[in-house]
């Protein structure tokens, strides 16, 4: 991983990459509007690598997502967008063959993929569906969750029907702030029936595997804003990852990132895709990034030196804490490491 690489000339995160896979919410936009620097940075990146988009948001079709991205200034076709409903239908086809009736909890993006896969859509448990598929949409109501609970009341190992969730993101960034995501809605059904859904989207492998195959990736880089879905998912399929601090996860989350959810690169915004990425060096337990230096001594995290760059201080702090093998919650961490000047919705 880049954070612990040996001494070499600084490389940008894009060096050697032939395919860039980007999350959307919190990376490209928050709500309808583009995040600062995202569009220009991604258009520049597309000059040297294939650019595709992966989204757990099941509310919209791939075509509508492409239209939105195009309106923001990106060059995108529907085929460039991989959605969690698409991944869900690939899973569904292995379990329940079309043209079975599927109870859909979600919006147009999910309904469109269910129908394209050859299934019949219902919104009522009274239609004896063969499975339930659940995804986020702003219009999902208590009555929709209740229908799912009614359809899933019999456990699957006792003859009940399958339940696939497009994703379980707990939150979703919006222009006004952070709102509840599909994970909260899936959890509501789980609480009612005591069953767990099979998940198709990030951080599970199917959505990444589809993207890698679709774009013919040999050396891919995934860009996300969440450790528990984006970075964990990229790690599970063995590709490098960027955590950009323009969405959900903040410096405090980076410092606490567990093994398997640690990004290859930490960026303040997407302009840094094109900048040389500084190397972390270690000497006598001191981790240094461009003059920002941090060490862990016993239960204390100590800032040895500052360079004036908050992102470099965060990178050094993350390297020191991760290398210590000590959970961050038992460490005394200086508030300075938690400083958060980075843009967020």
Residue numbers annotated as active site: 23, 25
Output helix, strand, coil percentages for the chain, rounded to the nearest 5. 35, 25, 40
Beta strands in 194-315 (DSSP E): 198-199, 220-224, 240-244, 265-267, 281-283, 286-289, 292-297, 300-305
Sheet (strand 281-283) strand order: 281-283, 286-289, 292-297, 300-305
Distance of CA 203 to the CA centre of its chain: 7
- Strand-strand pairing, 120-122 and 131-134: unpaired
CA-based nearest residue to 30, from 203, 244, 188: 244
Cβ within 8 Å of residue 255, ≥6 positions away: 314, 317, 318, 321, 328, 333, 337, 338
Residue 272, both tokens: 């840094």
């Amino acid at each position: 991983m880049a954070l612990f690489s040996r001494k070499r000339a600084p490389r940008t995160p894009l060096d050697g990459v032939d395919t860039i896979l980007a999350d959307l919410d919190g990376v490209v936009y928050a709500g309808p509007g583009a995040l600062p620097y995202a569009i220009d940075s991604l258009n520049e990146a597309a000059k040297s690598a294939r650019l595709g988009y992966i989204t757990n948001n099941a509310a919209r079709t791939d075509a509508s997502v492409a239209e939105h991205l195009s309106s923001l200034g990106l060059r995108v076709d529907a085929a460039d967008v991989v959605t969690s409903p698409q991944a869900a239908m690939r899973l569904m086809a292995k379990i329940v063959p079309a043209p079975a009736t599927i109870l859909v909890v979600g919006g147009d993006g999910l309904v469109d993929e269910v129908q394209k896969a050859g299934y019949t859509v219902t919104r009522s448990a009274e239609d004896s569906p063969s499975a339930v598929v659940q995804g986020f949409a702003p219009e999902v109501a208590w009555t929709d969750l209740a229908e799912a609970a009614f359809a899933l009341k019999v456990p699957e190992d006792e003859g009940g029907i399958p339940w696939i969730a497009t994703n379980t993101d707990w939150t979703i960034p919006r222009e006004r702030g952070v709102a509840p995501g599909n994970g909260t809605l899936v959890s509501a059904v789980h609480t009612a029936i005591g069953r767990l859904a099979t998940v198709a989207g990030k951080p599970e492998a199917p959505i990444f595997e589809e993207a890698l195959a679709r774009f013919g990736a040999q050396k891919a880089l995934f860009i996300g804003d969440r450790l528990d879905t984006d970075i964990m998912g990229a790690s599970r399929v063995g590709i490098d990852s960027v955590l950009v601090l323009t969405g959900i996860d903040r410096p405090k989350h980076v410092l606490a990132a567990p093994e398997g959810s640690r990004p290859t690169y930490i960026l303040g915004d997407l302009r840094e895709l094109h900048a040389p990425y500084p190397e972390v060096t270690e000497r006598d337990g001191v981790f240094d990034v461009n003059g920002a230096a941090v060490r862990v001594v016993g239960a204390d995290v100590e800032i040895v030196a500052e360079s004036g760059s908050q992102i470099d201080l965060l990178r050094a702090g993350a390297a020191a804490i991760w290398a210590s093998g000590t959970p961050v919650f038992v460490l005394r961490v200086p508030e300075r490491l938690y400083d958060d000047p980075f843009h967020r919705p």
